[in-house]
Amino acid sequence: MDAYGRYWVEQAKAYKTGTIKGTELKKYALGDAVARVESDLMTMKTNGVIADGAPRNDASVTALNLEEQVPKATLSDCLDISTWKRLYRKTGKEVPTPKGRIDHYLTDVKAEKWGTQWKILSATPEQKECTGG
């Protein structure tokens, strides 16, 4: 759970600055989890947008296997993005929120323990609304 929380802290830093440089994202994530952030950053750069604030989490472990050579965990999260504001980089003005936007996403998370550090492999938001966060 700590690695997942840190993953979002580092992701929020990246979205605010427009780069993963200067963050510890790769300490807490790899693979698809990092690729998703990098893809988001490219889209944000193309659109001249950054994000300020940070999402809130309401995650729980839904599966845990510590017996394998590489321990694995699955988490379920109700990710609350309502406090994450998208801003135009040049003006600092808020990007209008699209009508019908879901602010609380059900997110499926996969993690593995590499040595002493848990790493987030993927955090996949579903187009399903949830309550919590």
What would the DSSP string read from start to end of 25-71? HHHHB-THHHHHHHHHHHHHHHHTEEEES--B--EEEEEEE-SSSS-
Count of other CB atoms within 10 angstroms of residue 4 = 22
Residue type, 110: K
Write phi, then psi, for 9 (nearest 5 degrees): -60, -45
Q: Residues 67-125: pLDDT tens digits?
A: 999 999 999 999 999 989 999 999 999 999 888 888 998 999 999 999 999 999 999 99
Q: Residues 30-80: pLDDT tens digits?
A: 999 999 999 999 999 999 999 999 999 999 999 999 999 999 999 999 999
Interacting residues of 20 by C-beta distance below 8 A, sequence separation 6+? 10, 14, 26, 34, 37, 38, 41
Mean pLDDT score of the chain: 94
User: Which of 111, 44, 43, 51 shows the shortest CA–CA distance to 77?
Assistant: 111
Q: What is the pLDDT of residue 97?
A: 87
pTM of the full structure: 0.91
